[in-house]
Homo-oligomer: A and B are copies of this chain.
Amino acid sequence: MQMSNTVEYALRAVVWLADNPEESHTSSSIAEATRMPSSYLSKILKSLSHAGIVYGQRGVKGGYTLARDPNGLSILEVVNAVEPVQRIRACPLGLEAHGKNLCNLHRTLDDVMIEIEKAFANHTIGSMLKKPNRVKPLCGLTVKGKNALADDRSTGIRR
């Protein structure tokens, strides 16, 4: 049971945009700054754009900006944009016998999913930027050329 790469990437990108709101950022500049695969990120940004979380401006001087107020944007919304939290609404065994009634196992598992939804919903992107922390968001990375850890070759790809 693990946080998927897709969710991790999407959140990194959104936090980055929230923390650097003064200008728009291209897909590849975000990828470089936050150390993730550029072409995969571009796919993720499309989903975020569809969901209205980021705004993508095409063409020269284009790029992505955050389309929402970080203080009103929950982690749950970001997660749902790329990999929706799947509630259990009907028996996974596919038995029609009892309609919408779940047995205790699946009722319990759905309760766990509800808890997961709540845990995600409880945090906003804004709150993560505001909390004091010795460690800067995204582990001290900054915009390319300004203060980035230039000679770190790690990709950030897990597993």
Please determine whether A95 and B3 come into contact, CB atoms closer than 8 angstroms.
no
The number of times this chain is found in the oligomer is: 2
Contact bitstring A68-82, B, C-beta under 8 A = 1, else 0: 000000010001000
Asked if A103 is at the interface (CB within 8 A of a chain B CB), the reply is yes
List of B residues within 8 angstroms of A51 by Cβ: none
Asked if A152 is at the interface (CB within 8 A of a chain B CB), the reply is yes
- Interface residues in A77-131 (C-beta closer than 8 Å to B): 79, 83-86, 88, 91-95, 97-98, 101-109, 111-113, 115-116, 118-120, 123, 128-129, 131
Number of chain A residues close to chain B: CB under 8 A:
61
Asked if A43 is at the interface (CB within 8 A of a chain B CB), the reply is no
Given A1-B86, A101-B133, 13 extra CB contacts under 8 A: A1-B7, A1-B85, A2-B86, A92-B158, A94-B156, A95-B139, A97-B140, A103-B135, A103-B139, A104-B128, A104-B133, A105-B137, A115-B115
